[in-house]
Amino acid sequence: MINFKESIAEKLSKIVEGLDKDEILSMLEVPADSKLGDYTFPCFRLAKVMRKSPAIIAKDIAEKLDDNSIFEKIENVNAYVNMFLNRKAFMSEVIKEVADKKDRYGSSDVGQNRTVIVEYSSPNIAKPFHIGHIRSTVIGHSIYKIYDFLGYKTVRINHLGDYGTQFGKMIVAYKRWGKEEDVKKAPIQTLLEYYVKFHEEAEKDPSLEDEARETFTRLENGEEEEVRLWQWFRDESLKEFNRVYEMLGIEFDSYAGESFYSDKMKPVIDKMREKNLLIESEGAHIVDLSEYNLSPAVIMKKDGSTLYITRDIAAAIYRKDHYDFYKNIYVVASQQNLHFQQWIQILELMGYEWARDCVHVPFGLVSLEDGTMSTRHGRVVFLEDVLNKAVEQTKNIILEINVNTDNLDVTAKQVGIGAVIFNELSNNRIKDYVFSWDKVLNFDGETGPYVQYTHARAASVLRNAGDDFDYALENMEELDMNYISSDSAHELAKMIYAFPDVVLEAAEKYEPSIVTRHIVDIAQGFNRFYHNEHILVDDVAEKRAKLLLVYATKQTIKNGLHLLGMEAPERM
């Protein structure tokens, strides 16, 4: 597809003295008001060099550009050269590109098959998969899809929280108060109750904390009973987690969690010693990072057990050796900012040049309307409950408004779960937010169901057009694009044209909400076009041309929803 901005910069570089194409490209702007053109070139910077007023310079440039075939018209307004694209040529270019690429429209080969690891979700074994986990899960899944779409070889890792002192607590609680039949009946709920009880009892009897640490040390040392219970808790937890992942349509390439690296830490600690990084402090071993304005990092406790940071360093080294990654992306809450700064700095000090290829993508936290969530106190909202309730609510709405659908259950799942995902990805990831049932299940406004409904509306128009749509797609070269040169059609085409750049920007910023906001804009643009223009008109040539723009819209929305991890229903 023609890069119109680059073409304009190329043409201006032959007219404007003293600036090369790249400089001009950086100066070109898209006016906020489309009445001022599709692109504009400000001439203030040229005044000193040319020793003329910016307005005179703009007038000269506009006159020299005036006869170019890609422009419909060029105007100079004060110091600006405002350029209006030839709408017919622009529309033809956009529709051809979408029709050619179809499900790959917006994709590219910028990744050159380089390996990108995306670590996301990573719930703790034997604890609830709650609403707080949805952030890492759906943000990470969308980042994976975006990078995959851009030609990277992507690896999805679920770095399970399946090690640490918490398992000492869980094993102690089970041995003291647990029943096997209760765990088998409702694994996560029962284990949560044990975990809560442990902390309640530990407040009365602090020696329980020591017992838990000793139990975890036995687990690390491979004691049979501790390992048996840990493996059982892990297996039962994964069954629960996978039910939720299946609802969300999410799969992973690896479930290698913290425990996977338990036998890989000795070489890491040996290398730190070799580099003289380890210092003994009150019986523990630390790395002093004060030179880098970071607090000390504890690598080994005084009882010899390891910590998250030790395992994360071992994991990064393993991943580089095993996958030879170009980027190693961690989608983990902003609470862990210091943790990531510390271990990435330690990797550098250990001599690993690729340390800065490890990227922490932080996100804000979820709280409940009556305060923060706490697993220790049992104050959680189960993610599975959220998804089931969303599906049930959607089903009720579909029945209430008598929506035309091929399969009620399938559509309710697509829209209900889509609403939850879209709600998560609609705002900048770094923002904290309060979880509200009312907001999640509100299908009005700039929501997932609105975008999905727009896709279904476009699909309905194409179905109702019958053979005319097939003809239009097969014979687009002979169709008159002047029928789709109105303001609403042109604005919609510009948003479709921008989609590939939006995908690239979302990847560069690790920010799926950029895609989310853009497909909302496309949906709104399509609905304006739909209401302003009659599409299935009697004039066959006009109808067929308009159907092509409907098709391009539908395909682009579908591709955008795919990058968010959402379905695009054909009927709603």
Are the C-beta atoms of residues 554 and 458 closer than 8 Å to each other? yes
- Of residues 525, 539, 449, 448, the one with CA closest to residue 489: 525
Non-local (6+) Cβ contacts of 451 within 8 A are 422, 519, 520, 523, 557, 560, 561
Tell which phi-psi region holds residue 55, choosing left (phi > 0), alpha (psi between -120 and 50) or beta: alpha
**Length of the chain as a residue count:** 572
At 354, the amino acid letter reads W
130 is catalytic: yes
- The active-site residue out of 59, 133, 145, 554 is 133
Helices (H), 14-164: 21-27, 46-50, 54-65, 87-101, 134-149
Element (H, E) at 359: strand 358-361
133 is catalytic: yes
Are the C-beta atoms of residues 421 and 519 closer than 8 Å to each other? no
Are the C-beta atoms of residues 331 and 120 closer than 8 Å to each other? yes
Q: What angle do CA 473, 529, 444 make, to 5 degrees?
A: 115
- DSSP SS3 for 273: helix
127 is catalytic: yes
Helix 540-564 vs helix 487-509: angle between axes, to the nearest 10 degrees? 20
The DSSP symbol for 156 reads: E
- The active-site residue out of 59, 127, 145, 169 is 127
- 30: which 2 tokens? 């898209």
- Of residues 222, 358, 346, 218, the one with CA closest to residue 291: 346
* Burial class of residue 364, CB neighbours in 10 A (0-12, 13-18, 19+): middle
- 544: which 2 tokens? 């067929």
The catalytic residues are 127, 130, 133
